[in-house]
Amino acid sequence: MEYRFLQSEQVRLISSRARDWLVGLQKRVDNNANCTIRNAFQILVGLWICERALLDDKEFSYTKSQVQNVNQCTASHTDLFTDLLHADPPLVLLSTGILRFFNVQNIHLELFAEKISQLLQEHTDQNEGEANELFINRFLLHRLHLHSPLPSYSIREMPACDLIQADDTITRSLITDIAAATQYGQITLSTGKKFVQALHSILPILMVHYFRIYNLELGMGLLRCMHYLDLCKNRSFYTGLNFLITQQQLEGRFGFLAQEISQLPISREQFEPDLNIYLPHTVSFLWTIAEITNPQFILANSF
Amino acid sequence: MPFQLQQLYQYYRNASHWLDQNIEQFNPLKDGNDSNTLDLYQTKALGELGLFCMLYHRCTEGHLEPTVERFLCFIYSIWQHPEYQERIMRRPEYFQIQTMIYIVLQQCNVINDSYKEVIQRIIDQGYVTATETTAMRLLDRRHMLDCGKFNHNLPSYEELYKNTLLAKTPPIIYLTDTDVYAITHTLFYLTDFGRCSAPMLDGEHLSMVRWIIETLLGLYLRRKHWDLVGELLLNCLCIDWYPEIIFETAWETLLKFQLPDGSMPGPRFSEEQASKKEGEQKIHYCFEQNYHTTLVCSITSYLTYQWLKNHNHLNSER
């Protein structure tokens, strides 16, 4: 398989290490009371990205095994609908799509997807922001044949001097807006020329800023946005990507986050760093690396 | 452009007015100045005020505004004190900051070069060019000696540049404030503050340097670190680089953040701390915290004003 920006060997090393770590976690969570249904979906998505986009493993051995785990997990929950809502609907919808890829129709997940579809069809978005927030759900539902084709989405413009000072909330909205307005890089952004210029200049700076302060989540989100906006030739893009790949630990999980974890005011009984912190970061890392290096891969479109 | 050229000039006027109002604070020979540290800090400040005058003088080819003339008169009045002039001979460990004053006054045609021989004597003894320092400081040393047309044995700019942080272009994500100051100053000395182009800054390396400056400008603008924003904007002029969006956003923001008295808040300035002080104490605090940032932003605004006028960036579609 041909990869962009990184050597094939690098991609293989990154993803096989991440897969090994996810498989280890898969085994550990079976007997772990802190493991939630959300963790089961996250492991599924992580393995899926490794085997579908990065390792090009046609056997999908570990993803298939996690599909069985998800089936068992959903069967054992009593108030499943609430649990699924708490698990994050886009994650559930994406998992539903992955299960369908393996010809597995999980009745609980299918019902959940239909219910979300119904709710969204009855819902009128209050504003552009809400429409963009809900875009990912609609996009995934459309892929599941549970939503009509999507309209075009627009991005909320702001002056360059506000953009450069964007706080975490605004940055998060910006990432959502860019994903919606470009449909994960599939369409060109159609907005004012001046704002596009401002985005092209300032987005790379925001990305570097978030990596400098070790906010990996927002840094990765911005790096993906640079990819969606076709800013891959910008030097900051390579800087961000090179920084990112150095943040994988030797055992495959992503991030050096002991400092942040030690400052969390939560007891270890309720909290498992690997599940609560490293797992979502690792999935997000794999998502970023996969979309950037594999030109055919868009996570939300991958099943 | 989100701001008018005239606003830039007014910004410069306000900043230079603040410097004028606080001119006595630059005096290292003030009565009761018995602390060596305080004296050195003021000597450094005086040297920087001198640099401001020298860059202004070069830009206007000797046609000086009354404020700048007053600055030069003040610096000259300090220079006239024999105990100040003699420091170059008596304390060669501070050679650079003391000699700066001579160079400024000589370059601005306030004094002739009769003292040059005395300074050359101390250089010839070999101490001031032999002491150890960073690669950027060696460039600084060479630049100053060249400005004063002194003979010396320092390596070429090319050789000195090779060892700087900027030449090695390390990942921007890890750069600290100190690293960024090393970068901005490297470009100042290498280009003689934009007076000449540096042959080692060309091709792919120049485009890398431009990207570094533009990105750092954005990062420090985000941090509202006006000291480095001012220096990085001056770097844009040094390498004749106009990154439209960031450059204009930086100026638009600087104009907004100038304090009512014309000063620019330094990186450690606290409005709350200032409000707790009164009288002389408050003046000292505000000067100590803000003089450098105000000086940097003042000269950068003036040079940018001239640069934009000459390059006609205002009317060009880029």
Q: Is residue A33 part of a domain?
A: yes
**Interchain CB contact of A193 with B (< 8 Å):** no
**Torsion A90-A95-A98-A104 (CA) sign:** negative
CB-closest option in A197, A208, A243 to B245: A197
Q: In this predicted complex, what is the ipTM?
A: 0.93
CB-closest option in A160, A198, A211 to B173: A211
- Asked if A208's CB is within 8 angstroms of B172's CB, the reply is yes
pLDDT recorded at residue A32: 65
pLDDT recorded at residue A76: 78
Question: Has residue A81 got a pLDDT over 60?
Answer: yes
Residue A77 exposed, middle or buried by CB count within 10 Å (0-12, 13-18, 19+):
middle
Q: Is residue A225 part of a domain?
A: yes
pLDDT recorded at residue A45: 98
Question: Has residue B35 got a pLDDT over 50?
Answer: yes
Question: Has residue B62 got a pLDDT over 80?
Answer: no
What mean pLDDT is predicted for residues B252-276?
Answer: 96
What tens digit of pLDDT does each residue of B134-167 get?
999 999 999 999 999 999 999 999 999 999 999 9
Set of chain B residues whose Cβ sits within 8 Å of the Cβ of A209 = 218-219, 222
How many domains, in total, are found in chain A?
Answer: 1
- Asked if B219's CB is within 8 angstroms of A161's CB, the reply is no
**Interchain CB contact of B108 with A (< 8 Å):** no
What mean pLDDT is predicted for residues A95-113?
Answer: 95
| Nearest chain A Cα distance for residue B228, angstroms | 16
Confidence of residue B205 (pLDDT cuts 50, 70, 90): very high
3-state secondary structure chain A: CCCCCCCHHHHHHHHHHHHHHHHHHHHHHCCCCCCCHHHHHHHHHHHHHHHHHHCCCCCCHHHHHHHHHHHHHHHHCCCHHHHHHHCCHHHHHHHHHHHHHCCCCCHHHHHHHHHHHHHHHHCCCCCHHHHHHHHHHHHHHHHCCCCCCCCCCCCCCCCHHHHCCCCHHHHHHHHHHHHHHHCCCCCCCCCCHHHHHHHHHHHHHHHHHHHHCCCHHHHHHHHHHHHHCCCCCCHHHHHHHHHHHCCECCCCCECCCHHHHHCCCCCCCCCCHHHHHHHHHHHHHHHHHHHHHCCCCCHHHCC
Give me chain B's average pLDDT, please: 93
Confidence of residue B312 (pLDDT cuts 50, 70, 90): low
pLDDT recorded at residue A73: 85
- Asked if B243's CB is within 8 angstroms of A209's CB, the reply is no
Question: Has residue A77 got a pLDDT over 80?
Answer: no
CB neighbour list of residue B36: distance below 8 Å, 6 or more residues apart: none
Give me chain A's average pLDDT, please: 93
Question: Has residue A237 got a pLDDT over 60?
Answer: yes
- Asked if A239's CB is within 8 angstroms of B171's CB, the reply is yes
Q: Which of A30-34, B115-119, B242-246 has the lowest mean pLDDT?
A: A30-34
> What does the block give as tokens for A280?
């979502």
What mean pLDDT is predicted for residues A38-66?
Answer: 95
Range of the domain at A142: 8-301
The better pLDDT of the pair A56, A23 is held by: A23
Q: Is residue A75 part of a domain?
A: yes
What tens digit of pLDDT does each residue of A144-194 get?
999 999 999 999 899 999 999 999 999 999 999 999 999 999 999 988 889
**Interchain CB contact of A266 with B (< 8 Å):** no
Question: Has residue B252 got a pLDDT over 80?
Answer: yes
CB-closest option in A161, A165, A201 to B243: A201
Question: Has residue B33 got a pLDDT over 60?
Answer: no
What tens digit of pLDDT does each residue of B217-230 get?
999 999 999 999 99
CB-closest option in A164, A235, A239 to B218: A164
Q: Is residue A50 part of a domain?
A: yes
**Interchain CB contact of B130 with A (< 8 Å):** no
Q: Is residue A3 part of a domain?
A: no
Give percent of chain A above pLDDT 70: 98
**Interchain CB contact of B20 with A (< 8 Å):** no
Q: Is residue A184 part of a domain?
A: yes
- Asked if A198's CB is within 8 angstroms of B222's CB, the reply is no
- Asked if A161's CB is within 8 angstroms of B249's CB, the reply is yes
Confidence of residue A268 (pLDDT cuts 50, 70, 90): low
pLDDT recorded at residue A86: 82
Q: Is residue A1 part of a domain?
A: no
Q: Is residue A39 part of a domain?
A: yes
Set of chain A residues whose Cβ sits within 8 Å of the Cβ of B214 = 201
**Interchain CB contact of B246 with A (< 8 Å):** yes
- Asked if B173's CB is within 8 angstroms of A243's CB, the reply is yes
